[in-house]
Structure 1
């Protein structure tokens, strides 16, 4: 005898809903917008290839010229030096912001507030013209005897002014990135680890930092890419970076657009490489999320998954609609 509590199974032949073919959802608006964008992209490529005023031959001739490569080298060096030194300072400022000492918190907050309030170009001009305010810098006893004196007119060249100004700017923003990443970690984990007898340094290195990195890496990668492009403002103070190098060339031959295209292509190539590096770095630190599925997704699968315009639907957001 069947159990009274047993639920009768419906007959598949009797219920047409069970045998009906699943029809995928249609998104005509997505396909129409995709077609429009593809047409616009094709028009853009067509005008780039057919407009002789772009002078692609001139672009190719100057793309690997010695002066352009010299400016590219200075741009890469300045970006790397500013990011490394800026993040070293940013770690210290973030530690001050998280300190229990109110004096350290107040000073670090004031620094971040001031630097983030002043445009980077103004900071560069300030450091470049520092000699007008302080003709000499000295080292000695406070309010007393001076031991070493340096004339700022000979000290602050354009490159040094650019390095100092951009480093201080990166330090302020990186401090907030690091502080936000650390605050995203549940403080109960640190307390539990310290209760087990782990030291504060080990707790930070093995527990707090690995969990804070997924929040720190994306913003840091964006800052690195932004800093690579922001180095172009140093051309205002006659630092021969990539942009200033092409400006020197087109000031002589008046081929403005082709030379600007040379700089543009180099910036596109470098930012693309940095974006790919950022993607793999983010995947490395996010490998524990979603059971590791996020770390195993391919690069193009991730791009397509974030492009619902072409019919892809984010499965992780499907329940929110």
Structure 2
């Protein structure tokens, strides 16, 4: 317990760093993931190709490699951003590929007749997708998207290796100060557990309110 009480401020900064990374990366992943899912089901072949390429490349690229590309590669092209923002971009873009596939699977559950009916009323593809298809697909994508964002929260630990302040990075300071490795990691694990349980609770609530039977 002394590890936590003696270093409460350090743990707090790390937890808030992880919380910020998770929140901002999740928002980016959700927005980009939905957009890319729309590209993947678009009637234009070029758009479908772009969506497929995005998902294929990111899903098959190790997240650590993507961090290296963002934090070390982009500055060579004159892109100078805070390390935390680079980490958000890496996490958000990587996770968007998985969000896209979850949303696309939800879109596939919507009867084809719904889209055809919307188009017969003169609605464009974007209008059909945004007002008819996605609202119906929303209920079925809640569980997989929730699991994806939980994985994102845990993946944020990689950012600590790139000078980003987050929960796991507190271990370095604690180790230098001579604290027990096991106790230090135990409190770090509890921090991640608290965060992932909170995300799970939010998505369980959304699932119940959407009326999806378990």
TM-score between the two structures when normalised by the length of structure 1: 0.61
Count of aligned positions: 213
Return the offset for 1:254: 3.7
1:295-318, Cα deviation, whole Å (9 max, x unpaired): xxxxxxx8xxxxxxxxxxxxxxxx
Return the offset for 1:92: 1.7
Q: Which moved more, 1:226-235 or 1:242-251?
A: 242-251
Structure 1 Cα separation of the partners of residues 116 and 39 of structure 2: 20
- On the 8 A contact 2:106/2:138 being kept in 1, the answer is yes
- On the 8 A contact 1:225/1:271 being kept in 2, the answer is yes
1:279 aligns with 2:179: no
Taking a change above 3 Å as real, the CA distance of residues 283 and 129 of structure 1, as seen in their structure-2 partners, is same
1:109 aligns with 2:52: yes
Task: Give runs of aligned pairs for residues 19-58 of structure 1, distance below 5 A.
Answer: 57-58=1-2
Give the equivalent residue in structure 2 for 1:265: 190
SS at the partner of 1:92?
A: helix
Find the partner of 2:163 among 238, 252, 258.
238
Find the partner of 1:72 among 9, 15, 22.
15
Return the offset for 1:214: 2.0
Taking a change above 3 Å as real, the CA distance of residues 270 and 194 of structure 1, as seen in their structure-2 partners, is same
- On the 8 A contact 1:59/1:261 being kept in 2, the answer is no
1:100-154, Cα deviation, whole Å (9 max, x unpaired): 21111112211211111111111102222216xx63x3xxxxxxxxxxxxx34xx
1:53-88, Cα deviation, whole Å (9 max, x unpaired): xxxx3244247x111111111111111111111221
C-alpha root-mean-square deviation of aligned residues, in Å? Answer: 2.2
Instruction: Considering Cα pairs closer than 8 Å and 6+ residues apart, tell me whether 1 or 2 has the greater RCO.
Output: 2
- On the 8 A contact 1:128/1:157 being kept in 2, the answer is no
SS at the partner of 2:169?
A: helix
SS at the partner of 1:218?
A: helix
Give the equivalent residue in structure 2 for 1:61: 5
SS at the partner of 2:168?
A: helix
1:178 aligns with 2:103: yes
- On the 8 A contact 2:26/2:92 being kept in 1, the answer is yes
- On the 8 A contact 2:154/2:192 being kept in 1, the answer is yes
Structure 1 Cα separation of the partners of residues 60 and 52 of structure 2: 12
Return the offset for 1:189: 2.1
Taking a change above 3 Å as real, the CA distance of residues 192 and 176 of structure 1, as seen in their structure-2 partners, is same
Give the equivalent residue in structure 1 for 2:154: 229
Structure 1 Cα separation of the partners of residues 38 and 128 of structure 2: 15
Give the equivalent residue in structure 2 for 1:99: 42
Higher helix share: 2
- On the 8 A contact 1:127/1:156 being kept in 2, the answer is no
- On the 8 A contact 1:90/1:171 being kept in 2, the answer is yes
Determine which structure has more spread, i.e. the larger CA radius of gyration: 1
Taking a change above 3 Å as real, the CA distance of residues 99 and 261 of structure 1, as seen in their structure-2 partners, is same
Name stretches of at least 5 consecutive residues in structure 2 with no aligned partner.
none
TM-score between the two structures when normalised by the length of structure 2: 0.89
- On the 8 A contact 1:185/1:212 being kept in 2, the answer is yes
